[in-house]
Amino acid sequence: MRLTMRLKTMAALVLGAALIAGSAPAMAQSASTPSFFSFFPRPSNFGNGPVKGTSSIRRQTVAYNGPYKPGTIVVNTAERRLYLVQDNGTALKYGIGVGRDGFRWGGIKTITRKAEWPGWTPPPQMLQRRPDLPRYMPGGIDNPLGARAMYLGSTLYRIHGSNEPETIGQAVSSGCFRMTNDDVTDLYDRVKVGTTVVVLN
């Protein structure tokens, strides 16, 4: 009886040691292996947070003492920011996407037309570069012009929204100025046809 008990005790100790030894590599591996949740990180736009890529270029009010009168839109291409001059020594500052190399420009234009959820017809020059593009795309959430567009003079350029908010702050367009849909809607509601737009390149 005593021998049997001793054998059972030894067997239990051997089994326990084997289990501990077997679990050690797994424990070491778990320390260096990403957990389940690391494959599903909390998104940067969770809750009321900013859209990814735009956290540093949120719309804000800044001091302004420049030469342009209230109501003027000033686009600083190098800074990739758009300013709407206010009448109290301030300006509203928005992040924008600008033209890539070879497509940036400067000058003074006026807003000649405004449109909500505009349709998009790629110009012939763009179709030559991108023959895969549709000849026309109706307005909507997938349209590259986004929620609003403000047309500049008689050019093909616009200040418009975007279905790619991650590109705001980058030089990616064919000369237009992109904004988030939220920002372009805010700007659209503040300006009218005839507004002066100064583009500093």
Q: Tell me the per-residue pLDDT of 115-139, one tens digit each, with 9 for 90 and over.
A: 999 998 888 888 888 888 888 888 8
Give the span between the Cα atoms of 89 and 155, in whole angstroms.
31
Out of 111, 160, 165, 184, the active site residue is: 160
**Unique residue bearing structure tokens 């700007």:** 187
The better pLDDT of the pair 91, 33 is held by 91
Residue 95 · residue 168 · CB < 8 Å: yes
- Residue 181 domain flag: yes
Q: Which of 84, 82, 111, 112 is nearest to 97 (CA)?
A: 82
**Unique residue bearing structure tokens 């009010």:** 61
The pLDDT of residue 124: 85
The pLDDT of residue 150: 98
Residues 25 and 121 in one domain: no
Q: Tally the C-alpha atoms within 13 A of residue 107's C-alpha that lie toward its C-beta.
A: 10
Residues sharing a CB contact under 8 Å with residue 120, sequence separation 6 or more, in sequence order: 136, 137, 139, 143, 144, 145
- Residue 79 domain flag: yes
Give the span between the Cα atoms of 95 and 105, in whole angstroms.
18
Question: Domain range spanning residue 195?
Answer: 55-200
Residue 162 · residue 179 · CB < 8 Å: yes
Other CB atoms within a 10 A radius of the CB of residue 129 amount to 9
Out of 91, 147, 159, 176, the active site residue is: 176
The pLDDT of residue 56: 56
Give the count of domains, the chain. Answer: 2
Q: How confident is the model at residue 186 (pLDDT cuts 50, 70, 90)?
A: very high
185 carries an active-site annotation: no
Q: How confident is the model at residue 189 (pLDDT cuts 50, 70, 90)?
A: very high
Residue 9 has pLDDT above 80, yes or no: no
| Whole-prediction pTM | 0.70
- Residue 45 domain flag: no
176 carries an active-site annotation: yes
Residues 11 and 94 in one domain: no
Tell me how far CA of residue 87 lies from CA of 59, 153, 173, in angstroms. Answer: 18, 24, 31
Q: Tell me the per-residue pLDDT of 12-48, one tens digit each, with 9 for 90 and over.
A: 444 444 333 443 333 333 333 222 222 222 222 222 2
Mean pLDDT value across residues 142-165 = 95
- Residue 49 domain flag: no
- Residue 195 domain flag: yes
Give the span between the Cα atoms of 169 and 180, in whole angstroms.
10
